[in-house]
A and B are shown apart, each in its own frame.
Chain A
Amino acid sequence: MDASIEKIDEAGSSLWQDAWVKLRKNRLAICGLVVLLLLGLVSLLTPWIAPYGYEEQNLILGASPPSAEHWLGTDIFGRDMLTRIMYGGRVSLTVGLIATAVALMIGVLWGATSGFVGGRVDAVMMRLVDILYALPFMIFIVLLMVVFGRNIFLLFFAIGAVEWLTMARIVRGQVMTLRKQEFVEAAYSLGLSQWTIIRRHIIPNTLGPVIVYTTLTIPSVMLLEAFLSFLGLGIQPPQSSWGLLISYGVETMEEFPWLLIFPGLTLSITLFALNFLGDGLRDALDPRTSKD
């Protein structure tokens, strides 16, 4: 029976096909996608294409404004900013991707199950969410670090494990209204299993808010990483991340503004690209918006 359902997905992946056709016509969204892909590519190739090493200091030079040798200037230790931003992108983009993916997976599944099954299961699942909400985030992370030791992937996971709570709430609310819709009852009367109904009928209809919330989660996850690193729980200098660069940049904002401006600009461009892509995706995945 499950094999036959896979066939429907094959024959009728048309929601995604149609979405891709529509997305391609959305110039802003495609711009966003291209920018993100470029940033990803640069991050991937950084060790080979970076002009300097990320820990290469030049204490005599110190903080210098943009010049021909150092396009984006240098920081107080004379390290090249362009290099540091490129290396920072590796951390920030990974954290954004992994932590958000973790939050998305747990949040959507948790929320959809809770909202769909309802009753006691829902009550227990949501109380668990409440408890996690109430737990101070810092204590949770410190606890994880103490138990498992400091590890960058653990950090990503920990951030995701906190960010999924709101996602679960949003999805649950959506699902509870969807569950009472007649097309879900129709799916029931066809004899479809609960899991199939959740996967084929419920989750696709929650995509709109989920995508919007995801584009909001990615930047907040990146900033969270900076905060943790700042406290000494995340990555440590001389390694860098955008968030870390920004928070150090803020300290020296008045004397050396370029230390704040360039990392800030990079993060902003990323967020713009994400939002354009997110809006485009949301429209593309909603068949009710016109095809042109």
Chain B
Amino acid sequence: MALLEVNGLKVHFHTRDGLVKAVDDVSFSVDCGETLAIVGESGSGKSVTCYSLLDLLPKPPAKIEGGSALFDGVDLLTCDSTQMRSFRSNDIAMIFQDPMTSLNPFITIGEQLIEPLIYNPDKSRTQTRSAARLRAIELLDEVGIIDPEKRFDCYPHEFSGGMRQRVMIAMALINEPRLLICDEPTTALDVTIQAQILALIKKLQQKRNVAVIFISHDLGVVAGIADNVIVMCEGTVRETGDTEAIFYRTQNDYTKKLLAAIPEGAKVMPSRLQQDSPMIEVKNLKTYFRDYGKPLAGARPEKRYIKAVDDVSLHIQRGEILGLVGESGSGKSTLGRSILQLAPITEGSVQFSGTEISALSRHQLIPWRRKMQMIFQDPYASLNPRMTVYETLAEPLLYHGLANAKTINHQVQLLMDDVGLARANLRKYPHEFSGGQRQRIAIGRAIATKPELIIADEPVSALDVTIQAQVLDLILDLVERHNLTMLFISHDLSVVRYISDRVIVMNKGVIIEIGETEALWASPQQPYTQQLLEAIPLADPKSERARLASAS
């Protein structure tokens, strides 16, 4: 018998809007030393499945309607709370998605690490504080924290995202669990860090022979790490099998759709770049922010700056899609905002069709604002929740005098057609739409003023992979039809390759490399670019496994 056997699990949510079958008849099993990946888009029930195992769901509205989950012969779904607490502290551990919020900011990481050891409900397993400390330091070392004895007394904010996730892994492993549940553990991390964390999880698993359930929305991520894969959609299992079968002998249509949606390969659309006419010229641009953090010990108290963008020069040709890639903190978003004059420029100039817009006053800028627009990353935050779609789309048109009371209705309807939304939706509010539809509204607002330049800041990062593919195609289509020039900012190299004519690689505020997309992919000149390219997870188990093996 396997370590965990889930049979016919059903979880329903009784909400005001009716019954939601979040998990509907899901069965799987996982044994020691095995990794099971549960893959699905948002709302597929993958997280609910795992949360129900540890009794972490809010009840009500959630209710377990049926099924069993035998862990070592004991049914997790019916055991009492004392037993559940013992399972949670000693046998089953969980790693959460966002390392920024899953650690308590007011307690040192050491204190958080030893908590499960010194407050263990099982009295025979509690340890003294000093023994726990030694154990914690040993583990911190094992997960790759440098100088663990010193770092033991540091607070979470003193660690980077990747380091925090390592601490979370150490915390999960400290009681030697037999089952580890990882809920999208690398989704919030940069691609190079993601590769390191995946290798670390694999290494620790093999060493300790634990069972791992790995939840992810990204088939590429699980290709290397999983032995078996379950594909879930709308609460039901669509396909299940060993990893190679899922990837190489795909049966189910939904799985095929998921695999096809992963952006892969070169741009298919011909470049519309016009060689001789640069639209945007950025010269020696610097954007610094005051650093109000604590100065280093011994340093004189003086004004210090964070150099978000440090001496960057670039140009964007009319009609081109310029990709801008970089990891978090590379300054890529700030560069985009600086070009649009949304972030205060410290030094340097930005020219738009020969006019130096960085020298214009707020008021002088208004006619230029019409010509350059922005698409934001988070479609949940970029739309005013109290404005209907109609108001959101009408505002730029009326404000810039591009429509009058007679034509406005018609123009807004045309915009809806443009971004592929039904006209009947105009009276709705943003919360009534899905993430992909919201991003379409945001795109509609950006193209409303018939701009020449659009800066898209991670426009598809918050979206599911199938939706991402649709929105990317919409963007390409609009670029073509409206003759747009675009700066496409993203951390996802595959997406950038799929959409851009040229690519800029940025790191720590400076440009590392600029090149034609395919040339850059074929032969990256800088080590940093090579590192980035190598870290992209591919939906190919064989090559991914080879890479993980070499990394660990």
- List residues of A whose CB falls within 8 A of some B CB: 1, 4-5, 7-8, 10-12, 14-15, 181-183, 185-192, 196, 200-201, 204-205, 207, 285-288, 290
B377 partner residues in chain A, CB cutoff 8 A:
182
A190 touching B449 by the CB < 8 A rule? yes
Compute how far the CA of A10 lies from the CA of B398 in the bound complex, rounded to whole angstroms. 12
Compute how far the CA of A188 lies from the CA of B344 in the bound complex, rounded to whole angstroms. 13
B366 touching A191 by the CB < 8 A rule? yes
Q: With an 8 A cutoff between CB atoms, is B208 at the interface?
A: no
A11 touching B394 by the CB < 8 A rule? yes
Q: With an 8 A cutoff between CB atoms, is B400 at the interface?
A: yes
Interface code B378-393, partner A: CB below 8 Å = 1, 0 otherwise?
1001111111101100
A288 partner residues in chain B, CB cutoff 8 A:
385, 429, 431
Within 8 Å by CB of A182, from B382, B390, B408, lies B382
* B370 to chain A: closest residue by CB: A191
* B382 to chain A: closest residue by CB: A182
A205 touching B429 by the CB < 8 A rule? no
B431 partner residues in chain A, CB cutoff 8 A:
287-288
Q: With an 8 A cutoff between CB atoms, is B427 at the interface?
A: yes
The number of chain B residues touching the other chain, given as a range, is 35 or more
B383 touching A185 by the CB < 8 A rule? no
Compute how far the CA of A40 lies from the CA of B398 in the bound complex, rounded to whole angstroms. 40
Compute how far the CA of A64 lies from the CA of B174 in the bound complex, rounded to whole angstroms. 79
A186 touching B376 by the CB < 8 A rule? yes
Q: Can you list 20 A-B contacts (CB < 8 A)?
A: A4-B398, A5-B398, A5-B399, A8-B391, A11-B408, A182-B378, A186-B376, A186-B445, A189-B340, A189-B372, A190-B445, A191-B368, A192-B399, A200-B387, A200-B395, A207-B386, A287-B429, A287-B431, A288-B385, A290-B16
CB distance from A106 to the nearest CB of B (A): 23
CB distance from B372 to the nearest CB of A (A): 8
Q: With an 8 A cutoff between CB atoms, is B442 at the interface?
A: yes
A182 partner residues in chain B, CB cutoff 8 A:
376-378, 381-382
Q: With an 8 A cutoff between CB atoms, is B17 at the interface?
A: yes
Compute how far the CA of A181 lies from the CA of B382 in the bound complex, rounded to whole angstroms. 7
Q: Which of A15, A188, A191, A285 has the most CB of B within 10 A?
A: A191
A205-B388 contact given A1-B399, A4-B399, CB 8 Å threshold: no
A186 partner residues in chain B, CB cutoff 8 A:
374, 376, 382-383, 442, 445
Compute how far the CA of A14 lies from the CA of B398 in the bound complex, rounded to whole angstroms. 16
A200 partner residues in chain B, CB cutoff 8 A:
387, 395
* B427 to chain A: closest residue by CB: A14
Compute how far the CA of A190 lies from the CA of B449 in the bound complex, rounded to whole angstroms. 9
A191 touching B365 by the CB < 8 A rule? yes
B388 touching A12 by the CB < 8 A rule? yes
B399 touching A183 by the CB < 8 A rule? no
Q: With an 8 A cutoff between CB atoms, is B296 at the interface?
A: no
A-B complex: 9 closest residue pairs judged by Cβ atoms: A191-B369, A12-B391, A287-B429, A182-B382, A182-B381, A191-B366, A182-B376, A204-B386, A183-B384
B385 partner residues in chain A, CB cutoff 8 A:
183, 205, 287-288
Given contacts A5-B398, A186-B383, 17 further A-B contacts (CB under 8 A): A8-B398, A12-B394, A182-B382, A183-B382, A185-B376, A187-B384, A189-B369, A189-B372, A189-B374, A190-B400, A191-B369, A191-B400, A192-B399, A286-B386, A287-B429, A287-B431, A290-B16
Within 8 Å by CB of B401, from A4, A189, A190, lies A4
A185 partner residues in chain B, CB cutoff 8 A:
342, 374, 376, 382
Q: With an 8 A cutoff between CB atoms, is B373 at the interface?
A: yes
B387 partner residues in chain A, CB cutoff 8 A:
12, 15, 200-201, 204
CB distance from B377 to the nearest CB of A (A): 8
A14 partner residues in chain B, CB cutoff 8 A:
388, 390-391, 427
B374 partner residues in chain A, CB cutoff 8 A:
185-186, 189
Compute how far the CA of A236 lies from the CA of B429 in the bound complex, rounded to whole angstroms. 52
B400 partner residues in chain A, CB cutoff 8 A:
190-191
Q: With an 8 A cutoff between CB atoms, is B148 at the interface?
A: no
Compute how far the CA of A290 lies from the CA of B432 in the bound complex, rounded to whole angstroms. 10
* B449 to chain A: closest residue by CB: A190
Compute how far the CA of A72 lies from the CA of B365 in the bound complex, rounded to whole angstroms. 68
A181-B391 contact given A5-B398, A191-B370, CB 8 Å threshold: no
CB distance from B322 to the nearest CB of A (A): 18
Within 8 Å by CB of A189, from B17, B342, B378, B395, lies B342
Compute how far the CA of A190 lies from the CA of B370 in the bound complex, rounded to whole angstroms. 7
A205 partner residues in chain B, CB cutoff 8 A:
384-386
CB distance from A33 to the nearest CB of B (A): 22
CB distance from A32 to the nearest CB of B (A): 23
A8-B388 contact given A181-B381, A189-B342, A287-B429, CB 8 Å threshold: no
Compute how far the CA of A11 lies from the CA of B431 in the bound complex, rounded to whole angstroms. 21
Compute how far the CA of A109 lies from the CA of B399 in the bound complex, rounded to whole angstroms. 23
A188 partner residues in chain B, CB cutoff 8 A:
342
CB distance from B515 to the nearest CB of A (A): 29
A1 touching B342 by the CB < 8 A rule? no
Q: With an 8 A cutoff between CB atoms, is B405 at the interface?
A: yes
B395 touching A15 by the CB < 8 A rule? no
CB distance from B380 to the nearest CB of A (A): 9
Compute how far the CA of A187 lies from the CA of B16 in the bound complex, rounded to whole angstroms. 34
CB distance from B478 to the nearest CB of A (A): 17
A207 partner residues in chain B, CB cutoff 8 A:
386
* B343 to chain A: closest residue by CB: A185
A192 partner residues in chain B, CB cutoff 8 A:
395, 399
Compute how far the CA of A285 lies from the CA of B384 in the bound complex, rounded to whole angstroms. 13
A190 touching B376 by the CB < 8 A rule? no
B383 touching A8 by the CB < 8 A rule? no
A189 touching B373 by the CB < 8 A rule? yes
CB distance from B332 to the nearest CB of A (A): 16
Compute how far the CA of A1 lies from the CA of B378 in the bound complex, rounded to whole angstroms. 30
CB distance from B458 to the nearest CB of A (A): 11
B404 partner residues in chain A, CB cutoff 8 A:
4, 7
B368 partner residues in chain A, CB cutoff 8 A:
191
CB distance from A197 to the nearest CB of B (A): 10
A10 partner residues in chain B, CB cutoff 8 A:
405
CB distance from B305 to the nearest CB of A (A): 17
A8-B396 contact given A189-B374, A288-B385, CB 8 Å threshold: no
Interface code B496-529, partner A: CB below 8 Å = 1, 0 otherwise?
0000000000000000000000000000000000
B342 partner residues in chain A, CB cutoff 8 A:
185, 188-189
Compute how far the CA of A11 lies from the CA of B427 in the bound complex, rounded to whole angstroms. 11
B394 partner residues in chain A, CB cutoff 8 A:
8, 11-12
* B368 to chain A: closest residue by CB: A191
Interface code B342-368, partner A: CB below 8 Å = 1, 0 otherwise?
100000000000000000000001111
Compute how far the CA of A285 lies from the CA of B385 in the bound complex, rounded to whole angstroms. 11
A11-B376 contact given A1-B399, A182-B382, CB 8 Å threshold: no
A7-B381 contact given A189-B340, A189-B369, A189-B374, CB 8 Å threshold: no
CB distance from B20 to the nearest CB of A (A): 15
Q: Which of B17, B395, B405 has the most CB of A within 10 A?
A: B395
Within 8 Å by CB of A183, from B370, B381, B449, lies B381
Compute how far the CA of A193 lies from the CA of B288 in the bound complex, rounded to whole angstroms. 25
A1 partner residues in chain B, CB cutoff 8 A:
399, 401
CB distance from B410 to the nearest CB of A (A): 13
CB distance from B362 to the nearest CB of A (A): 8
B408 partner residues in chain A, CB cutoff 8 A:
7, 11
